[in-house]
Chain A
Amino acid sequence: MIKSEKITLFHYYLPIYLGMITTGILTMPTMLYKAAEQNLWLPLIVSSLSGYVMVLVVTYLYHRFPGQTLIEIFRTTMGRWIGNFCSALLLGLLIGQAIFILREYQMYLTINYYQYMPAVVVIGLLLLVCMYAVHQGLEVICRSSVFFFPFIIAVQLITCLLILPELSPYRLLPILDKGILYPLKGAVFSFAWYSEFLWGAFYMPAVSVPAKKMLTTGFLFVTATTVSLLIVFFVVICFLGDATSQYLYSFDIVERYIQVSGLIERSSALFMIVWLLGVFVKMALLMFIISVNTAHFVKKISYAKLALPVMLLLLLISSFCFTSMKSMYQNGMFFLNICCLVGNMILPILLLIYCLLFHRDTPRSSGQ
């Protein structure tokens, strides 16, 4: 299935990284500001620990069970019934995450650009493109993300550079005025965020590298994610200060205040374009993972053929869930956190512990 496709380690982590920073830049500053105010860098750094843990878990599983995806590992170690139950649960939780991302994307577009376009159309368009990408396979998703990568990074960096004259760093002060524990409340939220690094476990067989290299590169990408998000957070706080919590999409607001000799005044469309590229990468990857997982259930069917049913399923569910802004950011956020925590962290860590305790006899094969 995906064993015939070969990607490099850079291709392996890049879609996850791009997906995390694009969605993170848009909504995370506001969410974290509500919890930690100007000290929001602290929960971010603390929660990046979960990213390192996830990379460790993935690398261990990769090293221990070469050539198997997470679902297959569940099956081989936990037996048929529990394994199937766990993989079904994982699948459900992944679909939950996909629904939230789709709705988040649709809300952003509806609020800012397409007030009159039906939500189903906005979601359906993205899903159609993602379906095409999934149909072409993992290699294509990774390669196109490599192609989009410089554009996404360049636009974000240029935004940060151009807004520099407007920044006032004193807005970052006072540091830790309410103690250390107060800002850490926000970490719960971003813990879930970093757990997305587990997604790699679903297409592990596509890479063939020594486990050590996988670990170091993974750590590098987690660090890169933290650094990129920190830069954006600092820019947002230094620019908006207390007003950060007023805006849903605070970095978008920052973008609108760029003024270079009256020329690049209206660059918000540019921001929207690169944001779309990032969302596409994230969604295509997630849809690929869901298709591959489903393909494991329905044997003898290639994941490419499952792209269409998965797309229809996502479209159907997402047109019923979180139809309003309020429901999305109150219920949806809670729902997403549960999905991420259970699916991306608790289940795999339980698997890891189970393997460490009860499955020591499995022969180790090539790796480090």
Chain B
Amino acid sequence: MSVWNFLRQWKGKSKKKTPEQLYLAPEASQMISGSLNKNKRILDQAYQDCADVIQRVIRFGEKGESGALLVYLEGTANVEEIDEHVIKSLQKSKKPVRSLEDMKQALSVTDAQKIKQFADVFKNVSDGKPVLFLDGVPSALILGLTKWATRSVEDTPTEPVIRGAKEGFVESLHVNISLIRRRIRTPKLKVKTLEVGDYSRTQVALTYMDGICDKKLIQEILDRVNRVSIDGVWDGGMIQEQIQDQRWSIFPQIQTTERPDTICAAMLEGRAALFFEGTPNVLIMPTTFFAFMQSPEDYYSGFIISTLLRILRTIFILIALLAPAFYIAVITFHQELIPTTLIMSVIQFREQVPFPAVVEAVGMEITFEGLREAGVRLPRQIGPAISIVGALVIGQAAIQASLVSPAMVIVVSITAIASFMIPHYDLSIAIRILRFPIMIIASMFGLLGVVLSVICIVIHLTSLRSFGIPYFEPFAPFRKKASLDSVVRAPLWVQKQNPQGAHGNRNQSVKGRGQKT
């Protein structure tokens, strides 16, 4: 027992390091000293083997009697502005610079803050802000002259639309927030920032509309994000996985998007959005199943068109999920369901094929999923080659070699088209995966198996919650007002405001993570 106790204590001790201790250098606890040389020594120690840290001593004053030390990370600070507004201004200044206040006056920089601890120095240098030490003064100035490399705002390749804005989010948090601000011009749009990741200290911004969004929801999101313990965050997906209500579910309970208009619409419906530095994917929560079947374009083209499109999508989701399973069930168990003339030709083709329908179907579907995955990973130049190979593999040659029947090829291709019709990748991949167990169950129990598996999926979907909101919301439980914007889209003048029933105004309590209802 004593060994265990010792181990437990030892383990506990090693775990005690706070996140601050993890990402900061050991020198962080020291205060900035008045001597420039001492400060330089501490910096040298902390930034040992960091070739990209630039330390520059500036001499200025009439006889070069004053000294200053500038520290910044190469590539993150705006060098032109440093040259123009810091070094030149200091050298040109005629008044003697004895304190930081004097220096602030001498510099032509708007954003300049005073700090006293080395911890803040390290933090701000990592954030890309240059730090300026002055000889004889035990504090330093942070200069807001950052310039991170970022790509320009472009169309999103993952969520293309025909009508609607062609802007997509980029990897910079500030640019992304500005894209939102441009669309919703009110101080009621709130932005809360926090940091996630023990080493990466990724900046995260939570945006919501004050007065529309439920306060409890905001608190719950903050709580859940703060509870996450992770070394680094490179995409919202890494956090999404850990803050979902049901972490073991295959269905996404948080929506991701790269489109500013989607985020703005969601926020006006009372949802909150979570932005991450370094990724264009933004999380929307809470969400419902039917949000994944909607495209922003639905609201831009007329309501008749979008209602028809949504119904079409719903039908094709069912096809994507059930078509191969239905084919297997009918071929194996319920031949009487096929019209006589059709069954004659089906039998004729199937005579040549040596495998049972389920082997044929599962094999074909796996081949297709493989082709698709390969298509995503391939360099763009080789793309067309794989489609030719693919067409041959799951097309003509396979039929001629009697490996599969033509009917099967048709079923697989319809399924493939159907799964491409789902606007959101997260849902489409869930449906693609669920197709396989249903196919196997169908081969064992026929239509009974198919129906029972669909019932199981419905039970699962109705039991899910996304931040307290039932996942299958407008239908189970049924909400008349919200159902106007689900599988159908009622005209905007009928929906009036807050089509999803405004989650904030609904007094729907937000349940904790994993809490069963």
Contacts and interface: CB of A to CB of B under 8 A. Distances in A.
A148 B476 CA distance: 9
16 contacts: A109-B448, A113-B333, A125-B449, A129-B456, A132-B456, A136-B463, A140-B459, A144-B458, A144-B476, A146-B476, A147-B458, A147-B472, A147-B475, A147-B476, A266-B337, A273-B451
B4 interface: no
Given A125-B448, A125-B449, 8 more contacts: A113-B333, A132-B459, A136-B462, A139-B463, A143-B462, A143-B477, A262-B339, A276-B452
Interface string B443-460: 001111101100110111
A280 to B, nearest CB: 5
B94 interface: no
Contact of A140 (B338, B447, B451, B462): B462
Interface of B: 333-334, 336-339, 445-449, 451-452, 455-456, 458-460, 462-463, 470, 472, 475-478, 516-517
A144 B459 contact: yes
A129 B452 contact: yes
A276 B448 contact: yes
Contacts of B339: 262, 265-266
Contacts of A8: 477
Contacts of A4: 517
Question: Which 4 residue pairs across A and B have the least CB separation, nearest first?
Answer: A143-B476, A143-B462, A147-B476, A136-B463
B470 to A, nearest CB: 7
Interface string A270-304: 00110011001000000000000000000000000
B452 A126 contact: yes
Nearest to A126: B452
Contacts of A333: none
Given A140-B463, A143-B472, A147-B462, A122 B336 contact: no
Contacts of B448: 109, 113-114, 122, 125, 276
A144 B462 contact: yes
A113 B445 contact: no
B468 to A, nearest CB: 13
* Secondary structure call for the B interface: helix
Given A139-B517, A147-B472, A269-B334, A277 B455 contact: yes
A118 B463 CA distance: 32
A5 interface: yes
A137 interface: yes
Interface in A232-265: 262, 265
A113 B447 contact: yes
A147 B479 CA distance: 12
Nearest to A263: B339
A36 interface: no
B477 A146 contact: yes
Contacts of A11: 477
A113 B334 contact: yes
Contacts of B477: 8, 11, 143, 146
B462 A269 contact: no
A229 interface: no
A132 B517 CA distance: 15
A136 B516 CA distance: 9
Contacts of A277: 451, 455
B447 A269 contact: yes
B337 A146 contact: no
A133 to B, nearest CB: 5
A147 B516 CA distance: 21
Contacts of A109: 448
A125 B445 contact: yes
A115 B445 CA distance: 12
A220 B517 CA distance: 29
A129 B337 contact: no
A125 B452 contact: yes
Contacts of B476: 143-144, 146-147
A144 B476 CA distance: 6
A139 B516 CA distance: 11
Nearest to B326: A269
Nearest to B336: A266
B314 to A, nearest CB: 13
Contact of B455 (A5, A269, A280): A280
Q: Which of A136, A137, A140, A273 is the most central at the interface, judged by chain B CB atoms within 10 Å of its CB?
A: A140
Contacts of B452: 125-126, 128-129, 276, 280
Contacts of B517: 4-5, 137, 139
A176 B468 CA distance: 57
A26 to B, nearest CB: 16
Contacts of B475: 146-147
A148 B457 CA distance: 12
Nearest to B477: A143
A146 B516 CA distance: 20
Contacts of A268: 337
A273 B318 CA distance: 15
